[in-house]
Chains A and B, each alone.
Chain A
Amino acid sequence: MAEKRRAGVAIMSDSKSAKAAGDEQLLSQAGVSALLRGALLRLLESRPLDPVGFLAEHFAHLSSEAEDGAPERRSVSRALWHLSLAHHSHRSAFNNNVRVAYELLTQSVPRRLGAGGVRGRLYSEMLRCLCSEGGLSGSTAAPLLRRIQSHDYESVPFELFRQGVLTCAVFADYIRKSQCLYAAVASAPDRPAERTLCQAVLSTLREALETAGGADVARYLEASAKISPAKVAQAMAEVQPRAQQQDGPTMDAQEFEDDAAALFIARVRTVT
């Protein structure tokens, strides 16, 4: 079975016959060893959830690159694909993938145009795509993008690129979490939640963000994760006696999401 063949089985088995030697020669001549080594290293760095799918894409990209070079359009989608491989909480894998994405995007810029760095237009497009792939609507993402995207003509260095990508990834998670919080607070899926309850949850969110401190965006999410169900329940219990009537003022899902987004975005530094 596969388990027996898995650990430590060499591709070249223990035979020293001429066939084995000929095979080895073929593998190195055709560049197979180098190809596999590269693929395996990428696999170890990215640690994707679907290794087989990852390898299929990886080799497909390599072969299409060999065939006709990589036009700009493809670079953005390849960069996006790399960024999707590891969640931002897997810090080292995520950073590796950001580095690869960055290099993909800088490669598509002819050297004479800029002293390294990603072209502003590509960077802004990347961020837009990241937000929409993270499930964010255009209107939710717009205020964030206004703060962090750059001008088309500017050249974006790596650290800024990394911060921008990380911010979008964390923001997408944050909004998803807020949506879950709203769903928890709303008494029925088709009826909006009570305003006072929503405001209680939003102020717990604000408190959590305020205690985060520091410039590292990812801490905001960790902070919001500190909003344990107990804390939310406590906040709601404090509010509850005042909200006895069923038909008090309500807050709909979009307003809640916009308010939650605003709390996050307020803490993101505008890129100048």
Chain B
Amino acid sequence: MTIINYLYIKNDPCCHVIALSFYFPAETNVLFYLNDAVTQLLEHKEEYTQFGVARYFAEYFTSVKNGNHVLFREFSYIKATTHNRESFIHIFWKCFRQIGKNGDLLAMAEYSSLLQLLCPDFPTEMVQNAARIVLIEDATDCLMSFSDFIYSFQIQFYFEEFVESVSVIYQDLLSGKSPNTVIVPTSTSVEQLSSAANEEPDAQGGVDSSIFCECIEGLCERFKHKFPSSVAIKEILESSQRVSFYGFLMALAKHEGVNQDIGALPNKPDLLIDPEMDQELERL
């Protein structure tokens, strides 16, 4: 029995879902978008059915393709796919880059409000985590520039699961617990591990970079979520002997290659360029 025959047996779209999951790789998330399109249609049927459902679906998928689909949607939707995350970061940049141009410094709570303009239930916790990257954990009520904030926010949001897992690895290394990956200890690495354990958890020293690097590589081998390229990670961790957690994240935020791979934001020199707004402002 071919897949096509099977599709005709049941008279509802559910079985198509199963068929599609065989043919399309997960990254395209076609099923997710189809599912969401139908759910949205049912929730707002009065708005949509008057224009015809074909037009509704056409607009839905066009907006997905163009990256506008995440505007004013709930947090669970915008974080659901990497395309959605990248689109959201891009839209945040487009909407608020003028702030950067003016050179304004904002507090974490203000950035949180801006995010909630675009996504009503965006969690402040995530904004806090992003702020910690900029401010290296201390004094999260300090002011941040738009540029510093947005690149750190990008890392925190786009690689949320990776950041969480790396945090666990880092804590384990600090406390001297052996991490999930088995590292065959040479006498030097054991020394380094135990000396890391002897330091206080919030010591400035951080952890040994090469051990940290090995642990992260081990994580990435079996990791199901997005993570930065191993080239970038190695580059960052080979540049110093010891590294702190927020130091590592900050380096990721500043890394041009990582930024380009994500594709949501231009590199730093071009971040504040907004020719259309400049024209508008000149008219005033």
Contacts and interface: CB of A to CB of B under 8 A. Distances in A.
A39 interface: yes
A10 B32 contact: no
A39 B55 CA distance: 13
B183 interface: no
Interface stretch (B14-22, B90-98, B118-126): B14-22
B13 interface: yes
Given A11-B17, A26-B45, A47-B23, A60 B58 contact: yes
Given A2-B80, A10-B17, A52-B30, A33 B64 contact: no
A58 B33 CA distance: 15
A63 B18 contact: no
Interface stretch (B4-12, B247-255, B272-280): B4-12
Contacts of B13: 11, 33, 36-37, 40
B246 interface: no
A188 interface: no
Contacts of B26: 2-3, 6
Given A1-B80, A35-B57, A62-B54, A11 B14 contact: yes
A1 B65 contact: no
Interface string A2-36: 11011111111000000000011011001111011
B53 interface: yes
A50 B57 CA distance: 16
Contacts of B58: 56, 58-60, 62-63
B35 A5 contact: yes
B61 A35 contact: no
Interface in B168-208: none
Interface residues of B, number: 45
Interface string B60-72: 1110110000000
B35 A44 contact: no
A7 B30 CA distance: 11
B52 interface: yes
Contacts of A33: 11-13
B142 interface: no
Interface of A: 1-3, 5-12, 23-24, 26-27, 30-33, 35-37, 39-41, 43-44, 47, 50-53, 55-56, 58-60, 62-63, 66
Interface of B: 3-4, 7, 11-14, 16-21, 23-24, 26, 28-35, 38-39, 41-42, 45, 49, 52-55, 57-58, 60-62, 64-65, 80-81, 224-225
